[in-house]
A and B are shown apart, each in its own frame.
Chain A
Amino acid sequence: MRRARSEIVGRAVRTAIRNPGRSTLTMLGLAIGVAAFIAMVSFGTGARTAVMQQFEILGTRVAFIRSNTSRRDFGGSPKPLTDSDVEALKRDAMTIERVVPRTTELRTVRSLNATYSTEVPGFVKVREWSILTGGMFDDTDVQNRAKVAVIGVTVARELFGRADPVGQTVTVGTNLPCKIIGVLAPKGQATSGRDMDDILLIPATTFAAFLGMPTGYHELQLQVRDIGMLEAAMLEVVPIMRRSHRLSEAEPDDFRTGSPIQAAAAAKLVSNILTGLLMGIAAVSLLVGGIGVMNIQLVSVAERTQEIGIRSAIGASPRQILVQFLSEAVVLSFTGSLVGVLLGWLMSYLVAQAMGWPGGVPVLTMIGAGLFGTSVGVAFGYLPARRAARLEPIEALRHE
């Protein structure tokens, strides 16, 4: 039985080789369809992974509370975020591990040789910054209002060029000399387009003491105990903040909560929709490839009508004729799909390289696309094969 199957396939392969033009045309549609399918899935996955990596850089266990400036529309003034809010959250929120007040302003920073204006937030250790060289200030530095700074690579380049900035001193604002104790690992560009390496970090207490913080913080960064608690944390902090701000039931929140994860989820949703759309288009192109197989096979049956008549006359049963044409469709569809898989992989690899996306197409995607392409080809090859099998021998023999 196995020998018979291999012989059927062997005959189909020989027929395909003997008709290179027709075989190439049959395979081309499916190859393009399968390649497009793989490439689309790969592009979608690559783009989504790239977006998610950007969000992961921001920190996956991080949420924030910001002062709600839209309260002005109701005739009130926005209530700043204060130390009492921080204390209330630390005391009452079960899901929160750390609360760090943050204020961000653009400040002039000077070194001996250069002056540069950069973002100077309050203490933001909560975001799990990675260090390129040197180190990060610790709790002692925060308690002692130490005049130390950690800078991003953009600031380092602007102020010190290629020289090592660690150990150097910069002046923040008009009169705050800080010793650089570390350089942050590069983070690149945020999805908003902001350069995340254009930053200088000093302890929040140092910021408050020397740069001034008259109206409180503009943001409280929250580090939740576990990534799974993020949603719960964002629900839990609302009543705590409302009590802390002494809001009546009728009053709306004068703060708002958010998380990079929420933005990531939205981006993921958009990305999933786009991937689905692209896969849909690719699936349609695969179906078009299948219709191509059917067309070429129908032409093949029409061209080979007399051959079918000869085979019938010498004793081939309708089933043997069906198997012959179906096996040809299987061989062409399988080969076309295989070529498509290779093409799709190559396209995905080249685009991933060009766009800087994480490369590689999941093996299951390639196998799935290849099998789907073959199935489509075989399904569409069945109709011509059946037509061949149903030809009347005498009519087929007379066909010129």
Chain B
Amino acid sequence: MSGFSIVEANGIRKEFANMTEPVLDEVNLAVAPGEIVALRGPSGSGKSTLLNILGCLDGPTRGSYSLGGRDVSTLSRREQAWVRLHYIGFIFQSFHLISDNTVIENVTLPLYYAGLGRHEREARADELIERVGLSHRRRHRPSQLSGGEKQRVAIARAVAAQPRLLLADEPTGALDTRTGNEVMDLLLEIHAARSLTLIIVTHDPDVADFCHRQIFLRDGKIVTDGSSHAARA
């Protein structure tokens, strides 16, 4: 891999106490800024665990991981939180919106933790909510939204703090095909507009086809790593 990598993982190994085999074993990965990468593989192959490590939600048992050129695999919990807030946005299969909060409250949450004032938070969030087409749902709770709307709120929240890396775990997994395609279109649109790096865990080959690059994992190891064109071939 040549040039600057926003994500660089070297020799990542992840073991869990209750499992005999490592979930990830000697994973090496580099992702360039602006790249869209699909992590694929069967259930239990370690792709979600890898995504959690890349998102500083979990740490590797061994190996190093750099984000934007800085080693983040040995950071304290407080420092990891700071990195998640300022560098990373998450999108989950089950949306993970806060059910008590309205759409605007969910979207402003990262900005609240970043210390922005109320007016600035709401102005930024309103802009994003409008962009994802939910201005009319601003004061609604997640329980009042459809699956596609919830995921659009989650996307707005994920990019609210202007992260450089967007991590999506099965973003269309809970949606029908048409809604899934709409969500992917939105993701790609935001990716293009904000020059984000996007890493998507997916089982869905159609979703993977949206990506520049596809990485296949099996039994905790990367088995193939290539362009979507090559993967299709």
Contacts and interface: CB of A to CB of B under 8 A. Distances in A.
Contact of A315 (B84, B92, B98): B84
A249 B35 CA distance: 113
A313 B78 contact: no
Residue of A3, A306, A316 with most chain B CB atoms under a 10 A cut-off: A316
Residue of B82, B86, B90, B112 with most chain A CB atoms under a 10 A cut-off: B112
Given A306-B96, A394-B52, A315 B57 contact: no
Interface string B145-184: 0000000000001100100000000000000000000000
B110 interface: yes
B58 A315 contact: no
A397 B57 contact: yes
A13 to B, nearest CB: 13
Contacts of B99: 307
B81 A397 contact: no
B146 to A, nearest CB: 20
Given A18-B100, A397-B96, A313 B114 contact: no
Contact of B82 (A3, A310, A315): A315
Interface string B91-125: 01000111110000000011011110110000000
Interface in A17-68: 18-19
Interface in A268-317: 306-307, 309-317
Contact of A316 (B57, B81, B96, B100): B81
A393 B78 contact: no
Residue of B82, B86, B96 with most chain A CB atoms under a 10 A cut-off: B96
B81 A7 contact: no
A319 interface: yes
B57 A314 contact: no
B220 interface: no
B90 A394 contact: no
Contacts of B58: 393-394
B85 interface: yes
Contact of A313 (B57, B82, B86): B57
A303 to B, nearest CB: 11
Nearest to A310: B96
B55 interface: yes
Contacts of B114: 315
B139 interface: no
A19 B101 CA distance: 12
A316 B113 contact: yes
A312 B114 CA distance: 13
B85 A314 contact: yes
A317 B81 CA distance: 5
Contact of B78 (A19, A318, A397): A318
B77 interface: yes
A314 B78 contact: no
Contacts of B89: 314
A274 B104 CA distance: 57
B98 A307 contact: yes
A15 interface: yes
A391 B158 CA distance: 21
A317 B78 contact: yes
Contacts of B77: 317-318
A314 B82 contact: no
A320 interface: yes
A307 B100 CA distance: 10
A311 B109 contact: yes
Contacts of A15: 100
Given A315-B113, A319-B78, A393 B57 contact: yes
A68 to B, nearest CB: 80
A314 B84 contact: yes
B84 A313 contact: yes
A7 B118 CA distance: 9
A56 B98 CA distance: 66
Contacts of B110: 314-315
Interface in A60-95: none
Nearest to A319: B78
Nearest to A7: B118
Contacts of B52: 394
7 contacts: A18-B100, A310-B96, A314-B84, A317-B78, A317-B113, A318-B81, A393-B58
Given A4-B115, A314-B110, 9 more contacts: A19-B100, A307-B99, A310-B97, A311-B109, A314-B84, A314-B158, A318-B77, A318-B81, A397-B57
Give me the 9 closest cross-chain CB pairs, A-B, nearest first: A315-B85, A317-B81, A394-B57, A315-B84, A394-B58, A310-B96, A314-B110, A315-B113, A316-B113
